[in-house]
Amino acid sequence: MSARKKAIVAVVDDDKHLRESLQDLLEAEGFVTHLYASAEDFLSKFESIPADCILADVKMTGMSGIDMLRILRTKVGCPPVLIMTSYGDTRMQTIAFSAGAMAFLSKPLDSRDLISCIKRAVS
C-alpha cells in the first residue's frame, strides 16, 4: 500500500451502531471505510466499489459472513477477509479459516488487535 493511497476497508455487519463505531475507529487510524448492512448488499457492489480488506460478521440477517467469504473466494481479486463474531468457538474458527479468512476476531473487538490485523491485511 503506497503512503499516498489510503486503504479501503469494507465493514459488513447488520448492527448499525457497530458499523458506525468501526467507521469512527478505522477512519481515525487513516483508513477509508465503506459500510454495508448485509452480505447481499456488499456482494451486489463488490465489483464496482474497491476494497483492500473486508471485515465481516459471521451472524447477520440473511447470508452469513462465512457464506459471503466462500462466494468472494471464487472471484478474481478477492481482498483479505477478516471474520468477526460474538459467537466464536473453535469449530467456527476452523470453518472461517477453511473458507479462507485471514483472521478470526471475537467481539467485543480489541481495537489494537483489529488495527494490527487490518494493517497486515492491506500491506
- Is the preceding omega at residue 80 within 30 degrees of 0, hence cis? no
Q: What pTM was computed for the model?
A: 0.93
Interval 13-37: pLDDT, tens: 999 999 999 999 999 999 999 999 9
Question: What pLDDT score does 76 carry?
Answer: 81
All 3 cell numbers of residue 65?
Answer: 459472513
As a whole number, the mean pLDDT across the chain is: 93
Q: Which residues pair with 104 in a beta bridge?
A: 83
Question: All domains of the chain, ordered by start, with CATH?
Answer: 15-89+100-110 (3.40.50.2300)
pLDDT of residue 4: 52
Summarised one tens digit per residue, pLDDT across range 71-113 is 999 988 889 999 999 987 899 999 999 999 999 999 999 999 9
